[in-house]
A and B are shown apart, each in its own frame.
Chain A
Amino acid sequence: MNFKRFNWHVWAGFLLTLIALASYPFIYLNWPITGKIPWINLALFAIAAALLFVGVRRGFASDRNHPTRSKIGTSILTTLSVLLLAIFVFSFFIASRWLPASHGAPQIGQKAPDFSLPDTNGKTVMLSDLRSELINGKAPKGVLLIFYRGYW
């Protein structure tokens, strides 16, 4: 490959965009402080955008040294990168907020509704059991109910 034709800015920008998108769950799980606003990922996207910007300028420059640098490749990679950023912003800031309001959820000071559900061994468990069963030989002070979306 002719290195002069190789628009590494665009490729680096594209790869960094992929990394910025794919690393989110990993970064989130290891450093939950980034959970509120995904700063690290947004920073990666910003660096990627800068690389792409330089790459696009190089790709479209009528430079005699690089007369045949691929404008098509540059355009495709840049478009893909912008799409990936859009997907990230959309799924983090918009789609993830489409949640029911849950106005009827029990509030502080109210009784927690009882339930009776099977555990992973198929044994039926009630909230009252969870509240009374000892933890390390001591009566529990509380139960933390964590409702989650499930992994289907």
Chain B
Amino acid sequence: MRSIQKNLDKFNEAGIRPVAISVDSPEASRELCQKAGYTFTFLSDAKADAIRRYDLLHAGAGEHGADIARPGEFLVDATGTVRWVNLTENYWIRARPEQILEAGKALR
């Protein structure tokens, strides 16, 4: 998230809108954004509806056995079609902004 925020100008310039989605409540996300200085959109999927629709549910992996999302990034074009996907096999390893911006060059 921090690397996305750091490169937000580049994403804006490329016409790519980053959106973060987790099971955190809107309040928890707002607190995180204020603390960390994130200014892009954070959405709350408390019931994991969207997370299930994208088949990213990691059942019981959260605190007290809560269902959470496994990390995953999708670049969706203006028509709503997926153009790039990153489903990491190791949650320490995430997509880097340069990778995403590179993939974004193919968007029109």
Q: How large is the interface on B (under 10, 10 to 19, 20 to 34, 35 or more residues)?
A: 35 or more
- Residues from chain A with a CB closer than 8 A to the CB of B11 are 144
**Number of CB contacts from chain A to chain B under 8 A:** 218
Chain B interface helix/strand/loop/mixed = mixed
- Residue A1 CB within 8 A of the other chain: no
CB distance from A45 to the nearest CB of B (A): 16
Chain A 70-127 interface residues, beta-carbon cutoff 8 Å to B: 92-93, 96-100, 102-115, 117-122, 125, 127
Q: Determine the residue in chain B with the shortest Cβ distance to A125.
A: B43
CB distance from A96 to the nearest CB of B (A): 5
Determine whether the beta carbon of A128 is less than 8 Å from that of B80. Answer: yes
- Residues from chain B with a CB closer than 8 A to the CB of A3 are none
- Residue A50 CB within 8 A of the other chain: no
Alpha-carbon separation in the docked complex, A104 to B56 (Å):
8
Q: Determine the residue in chain A with the shortest Cβ distance to B72.
A: A147
CB distance from B35 to the nearest CB of A (A): 10
A–B pairs, 26, beta carbons within 8 Å: A96-B90, A99-B58, A99-B89, A106-B74, A109-B81, A112-B76, A112-B81, A113-B50, A115-B45, A115-B50, A117-B45, A119-B44, A120-B44, A139-B78, A141-B77, A141-B107, A142-B76, A142-B78, A144-B19, A144-B73, A144-B100, A146-B73, A147-B74, A148-B1, A148-B21, A149-B58
Q: 4 closest pairs, A vs B, by CB?
A: A104-B55, A150-B22, A141-B15, A115-B50
List the interface of chain B (C-beta within 8 A of A).
Answer: 1-4, 11-12, 14-24, 26-30, 32-33, 41-45, 49-51, 53-59, 61-63, 66, 68-78, 80-85, 87-94, 96, 100, 104, 107-108
